[in-house]
Amino acid sequence: MNKSSYLDINRCISDRIFSIIADSAHESGVEAYVIGGYVRDCLLGRDYDKMDIDIVVGGSGIELAKKVAARISPGIKVKVYKNFGTAMFRAKDHIIEFVGARKESYSRDSRKPVVENGTLEDDQNRRDFTINTLAISLNRHNYGQLIDPFNGIEDLENRIIRTPLEPGKTFSDDPLRMLRAIRFACQLDFDIYPVTFESIRNNSERISIVSYERTTVELNKIIMSSKPSKGFMLLYDSSLLEKILPEVYKLKGVEKKDNKGHKDNFEHTLQVVDNISNKSDSLWLRWAALLHDIAKPATKKYIEGTGWTFHGHEYVGSRMVPVIFKRLKLPMDDRMKYVQKLVALHLRPIILSQESVTDSAVRRLLFDAGDDIDDLMMLCEADITSKNEKKVKQHLRNFSIVRKKLLEIEEKDHLRNFQPPIDGNEIIKMFGIKPGRQVGYLKDSIKEAILDGIIPNDYEAAREYLIKKAAEMGLKPTDK
């Protein structure tokens, strides 16, 4: 190991917490090592100061955790998971987890291993990738020594994702590791070793035994990386995308008729997701970008003299969103509804940017988008992926006009999350009628009049208009 690497390792264990662990382990007569992601990210120079710390113990991880926590502060609460032989607590910005060194064996139909006590070597053998096997000794006789049996340092330097043991067994035993390989390649901007990637492709069918909850955790981490397109291209090339998100997989490809072809909607979608990722850290806005054209394969049609069309793909796509979310065990709450709304509305600002922008159209967009109007505009701008620079600049100029108009009308009419100034209960009392179609019609009349700019968005104007519309129906205000 070169001198700079040695200094990096010393930096990784410079926090006082490591000397406390070392002293406690020595007093308990057990060996302890910091291992895995903390070591990897520290050596890479990532934000390791707030990273979770994993400690492998040659004995009881639970007992050592309790001893270390008491030594740091008597008030620290230690969470113990007896079934897994682990314990953890929070100290400063770190969550520190202690586990006894172990070895694992797997059955064919489950990714849950049979666990036995083992050595540090056993523990390193069971890990997913060489860059996650790196361990630093916290023992007095070799404190600060890097234990690297699989040349993980070399793979860090070469930016390679590779399994420590034969990849076919690694991925067959725990197929979630295939997704983790792609996630790490995406997050760290590493390459997957060719033999390792070929094994992912060969074992892709095994992903079926992984729960959607665990799959979605990895998908979300890929989506939240700085360049999600890298992860989704790897998912596609490995055959995993077809099994996890077939709707996105079907976007790939170009069909031609009469020498007319449409763009590759998969590549376009990935560019939109990358564009959004450069602007926002919102997971759900990124999901909206990923799914915004999801219904294009279902709505694709070739029309003579016109070419390829995808009419109504925004509405069909919005209906697909809850189906996808439910299958992937994503939240079926306001976050799903937010994604569904953006998918349904993503063409509206584009249409406004192509035509003369009327106040009425802008009011309706504000009404439908509500507080999500800014995110919708960001999605629409990200959706411009033409290679024609002149065309892109023109679209962006048009969008700036739409944004200006949105601002002007919002300031004047206050239509964001708009509710009509007169509600159904007041209409019932005003005209002495029962709940029903008449009430709904009158309430909608007020809303439409405001959105069309016939009346301003205020109570008195709405009341006067309401009385006129009611008179057309033979209704008069009561004295009640």
* pLDDT confidence tier of residue 109, bands split at 50, 70 and 90: low
Select from 71, 76, 127 the least CA-distant residue to 99. 127
Q: How far apart are CA 86 and CA 63, in angstroms?
A: 9
* Percent of the chain at pLDDT exceeding 90: 58
At 115 the pLDDT is: 57
Pairing of strands 160-161, 191-192: parallel
At 349 the pLDDT is: 86
Give the pLDDT mean for 264-279: 96
* Residue 100 three-state SS: strand
* Percent of the chain at pLDDT exceeding 70: 92
Q: How far apart are CA 424 and CA 427, in angstroms?
A: 5
Give the pLDDT mean for 272-289: 97
Contact between 313 and 269 (Cβ < 8 Å): no
Contact between 297 and 279 (Cβ < 8 Å): no
What's the maximum distance between 2 C-alpha atoms anywhere in the chain?
96
At 108 the pLDDT is: 58
At 335 the pLDDT is: 97
DSSP at 276: H
Select from 347, 352, 242 the least CA-distant residue to 293. 347
Give the pLDDT mean for 243-268: 88
SS3 content of the chain, % helix, strand, coil (to 5): 60, 10, 30
Contact between 255 and 300 (Cβ < 8 Å): yes
At 2 the pLDDT is: 44
pLDDT in tens, 180-234: 999 999 999 999 999 999 999 999 999 999 999 999 999 999 999 999 999 999 9
Contact between 134 and 40 (Cβ < 8 Å): yes
Domains and CATH numbers, the chain: 3-157 (3.30.460.10), 159-244 (1.10.110.30), 424-472 (no CATH)
pLDDT in tens, 143-174: 999 999 999 999 999 999 999 999 998 998 89
pLDDT in tens, 421-476: 888 899 999 998 999 999 999 988 998 888 888 888 888 998 999 999 999 998 98
Q: How far apart are CA 235 and CA 273, in angstroms?
A: 15
Give the pLDDT mean for 19-34: 95
* CA distances from residue 29 to 9, 59, 104, 118 in whole angstroms, order as listed: 24, 9, 24, 16
Bigger pLDDT: 104 or 338? 338
* pLDDT confidence tier of residue 479, bands split at 50, 70 and 90: low
